[in-house]
Amino acid sequence: MSIINRRARHEYQILETYEAGMILLGPEVKSIRAGQVNLAEAHCLIRNDKLLLLGCHISPYKPAALNNPLEPARTRELLLRKRELEKLAAKLNEKGLAIVPLKIYFNARGFAKVEIALGRGKKLYDKRQDEKERDVKRDIQRQYKM
């Protein structure tokens, strides 16, 4: 099961992707497995040589009422290799680039991972162009199905 941030690919042109680990509390892992995550408003920052995930809302897991964190949209630390983090920090200095979470998923070993991307914000005309291309592809597929 993976939670996908559909808005990210619409708002940003994806340049590079990375896989990062997450530091979570126990009940948060259960909530992610249940799919109770909202990535729409999430973004990442590098502060004090740490990669932070901001705005990711993980709903409280009801059966673990006492152990749930007080704030569902708290700042969470992401884990990357030091070399990857330095490379990301260097590229972030370019104008118009941002680190955006694309999806949260569990890898084969059962660890929660976040796929993050280095993206450049799209302009309105870029979004329109993407919509046109999508419509053309859809029309071509319809013709072949008939």
Q: Please give the Cα distance from 109 to 111 (Å, whole number).
A: 6
Bridge partners for 3 per DSSP:
104
Domain that holds residue 136: 2-145
Q: Please give the Cα distance from 5 to 3 (Å, whole number).
A: 7
The CATH number covering residue 18 comes to 2.40.280.10
pTM above 0.75, yes or no: yes
Bridge partners for 12 per DSSP:
121
How many domains, the chain?
A: 1
CA 14 → CA 40, 51, 66, distances in Å?
16, 18, 40
| Residue-level pLDDT, tens digit, the chain, 146 residues | 688 888 888 888 899 999 999 998 878 888 888 888 888 888 899 999 899 999 888 888 777 777 666 677 788 999 999 999 999 988 888 788 889 999 999 999 989 999 999 988 877 777 788 888 888 889 888 888 76
The token pair that represents 125 in the structure block: 């005309």
Q: What's phi and psi for 50, nearest 5 deg? A: -130, 140
